Amino acid sequence: LRATAEPMTTPTLTRWLLDHTRQNPSQEDLEALLSSIAMGCKTISGIVQRAGVDGLDGAADTINVQDEQQKQLDIIANEVLKDALRYTGKVGLAASEEEADPMLVEEAFGSKYVAVFDPLDGSSNVQAAVATGTIFGIFKQNVECLVDDDDENMDDDQTRCLLNALQPGRSLVAAGYCMYSSSTVLVFSLGDGVHGFTLDPRSQEFVLSHDDVRIPERGPYYSFNEGNAKEWDAHVRGYLDSLQGVKGSRYVGSMVADVHRTLLYGGIYGYPADTKNKNGKLRLLYEAAPMSFLVEQAGGRCSDGRRPIMDVVPSSVHQRVPVFLGSSEDVRDLEAFYSDDL
């Protein structure tokens, strides 16, 4: 029997990564890292699906660095992802929405990559069984982070290493999300297009379901929490007024679900600044930047209203940023409402 060159069935994530590594040998470590994140997301998916049965869908008795009451699942998902990243030996530094400060990974101090993540975004929706998701981004450590244990400048080196977490979206080498909804869908980019894999419950394998995702130039929906409309600036209100009777409104209130729909169907997702949140609600490093990376890789556009989100350099790990992202022409229309005060 001669092995055929063409895949006999839809490739699994494992096979897709092996093929991708053969074509891009320099990305072998990155693919190993992605495979580990996928395993972590698969674990989180199972925990989320069973949370209501296991009594884990409620609040924890702790407040996180965002001054938000943590959910039990926030804490569990955070530990699952930290373990998945730690044991790859490829991540020297990690930053999480659920951790006050970036974490130096002892087992792999000075390793090639930095991982940033929101372990379970939209966790407040779990009790209503509404979609949630994990968001992640991968950077390279661009500041030399090799520190000898007996190095008398250990503290200085560690401080310098932590700077590796404060990189703009433009420096991402990979990003993605895993949505836990009616199905579990892992969507990521390694810098050469966006690909989606759906978890097959029978085999527990991620199977290619969205090859080379391209976002339409315009789309049928806008996705904003209009309950905040009175707190928005005139630019955003003017733009939303222009959409009435033109686009439908779709808003889940879980960023991963709203961005996933926007990627596939087109349109615009936004979480603007408002009088209560001067920089909006969403965090730049591990929510807005990874999602913007994906949207740009799919041919879409991202903006804080005045400039690409990908160009915003974080000055702190949990910095927030106004977010508009989606179909390129829809986001350009939004930006035009800001152009009069550029």
Ramachandran region, residue 3 (left: φ > 0; alpha: ψ -120 to 50; beta: rest): beta
Selected from 199, 255, 284, 321, the binder of ligand P6P by CB under 6 A is 255
Number of residues this chain uses to bind ligand P6P (CB under 6 A): 10
In the complex, minimum distance from the CB of residue 137 to ligand P6P, in angstroms, rounded to a whole number: 16
| DSSP element (H, E) containing 187 | strand 184-189
Q: How many CA atoms lie within 13 A of 291 on its CB side?
A: 37
Q: Is there binding between residue 284 and ligand P6P (CB under 6 A)?
A: no
Q: Which of 80, 255 has the CB closer to ligand P6P?
A: 255
Segment interacting with ligand P6P (CB under 6 A) among 26-34, 83-91, 140-148, 252-260: 252-260
Query: Rounded CA gap, 340 and 342, in Å?
Result: 6
Q: Is there binding between residue 121 and ligand P6P (CB under 6 A)?
A: yes
Selected from 10, 12, 24, 225, the binder of ligand P6P by CB under 6 A is 225
Query: How many CB atoms are located within 10 Å of the residue 183 CB?
Result: 12
Segment interacting with ligand P6P (CB under 6 A) among 36-44, 54-62, 121-129, 178-186: 121-129
Q: Which of 10, 124 has the CB closer to ligand P6P?
A: 124
Query: Rounded CA gap, 95 and 136, in Å?
Result: 10
Q: Is there binding between residue 198 and ligand P6P (CB under 6 A)?
A: no
Q: Is there binding between residue 253 and ligand P6P (CB under 6 A)?
A: yes
Q: Is there binding between residue 319 and ligand P6P (CB under 6 A)?
A: no
Residue whose structure tokens are 């929706």: 125
Q: Which of 98, 258 has the CB closer to ligand P6P?
A: 258
Q: Which of 92, 119 has the CB closer to ligand P6P?
A: 119
Query: Rounded CA gap, 340 and 317, in Å?
Result: 31
In the complex, minimum distance from the CB of residue 258 to ligand P6P, in angstroms, rounded to a whole number: 6
Q: Is there binding between residue 320 and ligand P6P (CB under 6 A)?
A: no
Query: Rounded CA gap, 61 and 70, in Å?
Result: 7
Q: Which of 205, 233 has the CB closer to ligand P6P?
A: 233
In the complex, minimum distance from the CB of residue 175 to ligand P6P, in angstroms, rounded to a whole number: 16
Q: Backbone phi, then psi, for 91, in 5-degree steps? A: -110, 120
**301-303: strand order across its sheet:** 248-249, 221-223, 268-271, 323-326, 301-303
Segment interacting with ligand P6P (CB under 6 A) among 20-28, 105-113, 118-126, 309-317: 118-126
Query: Rounded CA gap, 86 and 88, in Å?
Result: 6
Q: For residue 92, list its beta bridge partners.
A: none
Tokens linked to 89: 């030996």
Q: Is there binding between residue 124 and ligand P6P (CB under 6 A)?
A: yes
Q: For residue 8, list its beta bridge partners.
A: none
Task: Name the residues that contact ligand P6P, by CB under 6 A.
Answer: 121-122, 124, 225, 253-255, 258, 271, 281
